[in-house]
């Protein structure tokens, strides 16, 4: 009988080795590690331990104080004052103090103790204050005070357009505070304001036009009625003023006028306009109708109309 093919590959030495391996696995082996602790060397350089490193980091770590908690609130950190417009952090002592000082200057006027030499504009009607003229040739301290007041005006009237080198600044001072300011400039011509007629803004009706909308087998019938104004787009702009195209000769332009909120409706703006008429042109007193105004706000337009006695004042 022929042997199996595996018998040809069977090795005696391999079998012996396998048996020896099996015997080794069945045996129990013990491994003993021996070592000797060495004495520390006092002269050796050692690195600090983890505890020491942590202690050093804690000592060197900066301390931070948490002043605010952000929970998604809309007024987190900064809040804008609705009166003076300044942004500040409620609850912060420094911000609260700065806001209170600025708020008082904005509403009641900037502190002003006066100068040894002032260009006063005398007016018999002014009893509780005085009007000071600041021109380009005045000392730098005078012009800096005028610029400080101008910056306060810019909060309501806009910035970087009110003052230039040729302007004359009129300050109304009362109770050691500047409560009103007017900026005037020399001009050569202005334009008369004209109001659009009532008939030009009447609306006319357009004949209704029928239209049809169809969605599949469903038909919708609708009527559209339009109202078309007969005025141009520029005439429909809110707050716009319309002037005559023919220029008129003029010498004085009122660039800006402003009174602190707590001192309005006390006639201060009227006193400032009177001072300009009497002093702007040397040796010549201007009539109210001869003053020209830059495009005014709604409150400014009411003031000019009341002062000149007409809605057809000069603008430039």
Work out the number of other CB atoms within 10 angstroms of the CB of residue 120.
Answer: 12
134 pLDDT higher than 90:
yes
pLDDT, greater one: 311 or 201: 311
Q: Which residue has the higher pLDDT, 165 or 64?
A: 165
For residues 191 and 250, the answer to whether their CB atoms sit within 8 Å is no
Say how many CA atoms lie within 13 Å of 284 toward its Cβ.
10
- Which regions of 187-297 does DSSP assign to beta strands (E)? 189-194, 203-205, 209-215, 218-224, 227-229, 242-249, 252-259, 291-293
| pLDDT band at residue 236 under the 50/70/90 scheme | very low
Please state, for a pLDDT cut of 70, what percent of the chain lies above it.
Answer: 62
CB 180 within 8 A of CB 268: yes
- Once rounded to an integer, what is the mean pLDDT over residues 198-206? 44
Q: What is the pLDDT of residue 45?
A: 53
pLDDT digits (tens, 9 = 90+) for 243-287: 899 999 999 999 999 999 999 999 999 999 999 999 999 889 999
Question: What is the structure's pLDDT at 120?
Answer: 96
DSSP codes of every residue in 140-205? HHHHHHHHHHHHHHHHHH-SSSS--TT-EEEEEEETTEEEEEEEEEE-SEEEEEEPPPSGGG-EEE
Give the residue with greater pLDDT, 94 vs 206.
94
- The helix/strand/coil state of 64 is coil
Strands (E), 36-99: 79-80, 87-88
Q: Who wins on pLDDT, 184 or 75?
A: 184
Tens digit of pLDDT for each residue in 299-311? 888 999 999 999 8
| pLDDT at residue 230, as a whole number | 39
| pLDDT over 90, % of the chain | 45
Residue 149 reports pLDDT greater than 70: yes
Confidence category of residue 202, pLDDT binned at 50, 70, 90 = very low
41, pLDDT greater than 60: yes
Q: How many CB atoms lie within 10 A of CB 64?
A: 6
Least confident interval from 50-64, 66-80, 294-308: 50-64
**Burial tier of 168 (Cβ tally within 10 Å: 0-12, 13-18, 19+):** buried
What phi, psi does 256 have (nearest 5°)? -160, 150
Average pLDDT rounded to a whole number, residues 224-240:
45
**pTM given for the model:** 0.63
Q: Which domains, and CATH codes, for the chain?
A: 110-193+238-315 (3.40.630.30), 196-236 (no CATH)
DSSP alpha helix (H) spans, the chain: 12-26, 50-60, 93-108, 140-157, 268-279, 298-308
**Average pLDDT along the chain:** 78
Q: Indicate whether 90 pLDDT > 60.
A: yes
pLDDT tens digits for range 164-195:
999 999 999 999 999 999 999 999 999 999 86
Is residue 292 predicted with pLDDT exceeding 90? yes
In angstroms and rounded to an integer, the radius of gyration of the C-alpha atoms of the chain is 45
List the one residue out of 275, 285, 256, 246 whose CA is nearest residue 185: 256
> What gap in Å lies between CA 123 and CA 240, rounded to an integer?
34
């Amino acid at each position: 009988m022929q042997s199996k093919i595996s018998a040809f590959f069977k090795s005696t030495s391999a079998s012996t080795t396998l048996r020896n391996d099996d015997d080794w696995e069945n045996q129990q082996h013990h491994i003993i590690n021996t070592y000797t602790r060495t004495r520390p060397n006092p002269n050796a350089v050692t690195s600090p331990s983890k505890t020491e490193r942590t202690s050093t980091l804690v000592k060197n770590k900066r301390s931070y104080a948490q002043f605010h908690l952000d929970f998604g609130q809309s007024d987190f950190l900064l809040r804008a004052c609705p009166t003076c417009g300044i942004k500040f952090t409620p609850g912060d002592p420094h911000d609260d103090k700065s806001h209170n000082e600025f708020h008082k200057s904005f509403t009641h006027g900037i502190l002003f103790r006066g100068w040894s030499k002032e260009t006063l504009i005398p007016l018999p009607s002014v009893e509780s204050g005085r009007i000071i003229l600041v021109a380009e040739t005045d000392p730098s301290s005078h012009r800096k005070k005028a610029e400080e007041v101008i910056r306060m005006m810019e909060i309501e009237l806009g910035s970087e357009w009110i003052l230039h080198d040729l302007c004359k600044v009129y300050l109304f001072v009362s109770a050691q505070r500047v409560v009103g300011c007017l900026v005037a400039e020399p001009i050569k011509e202005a334009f008369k304001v004209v109001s659009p007629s009532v008939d030009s803004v009447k609306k006319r009706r357009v004949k209704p036009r029928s239209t049809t909308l169809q969605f599949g087998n469903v038909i919708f019938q609708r009527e559209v009625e339009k109202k078309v104004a007969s005025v141009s787009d520029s005439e429909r702009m809110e707050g716009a003023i319309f002037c005559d195209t023919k220029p008129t000769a003029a010498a004085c332009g009122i660039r800006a006028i402003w009174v602190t909120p707590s001192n309005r409706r006390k006639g201060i703006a009227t006193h400032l306009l009177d001072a300009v008429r009497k002093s702007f042109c040397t040796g010549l007193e201007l009539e109210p109708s001869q003053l020209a105004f830059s495009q005014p706000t709604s409150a400014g337009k009411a003031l000019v109309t009341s002062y000149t006695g007409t809605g057809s004042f000069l603008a430039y």
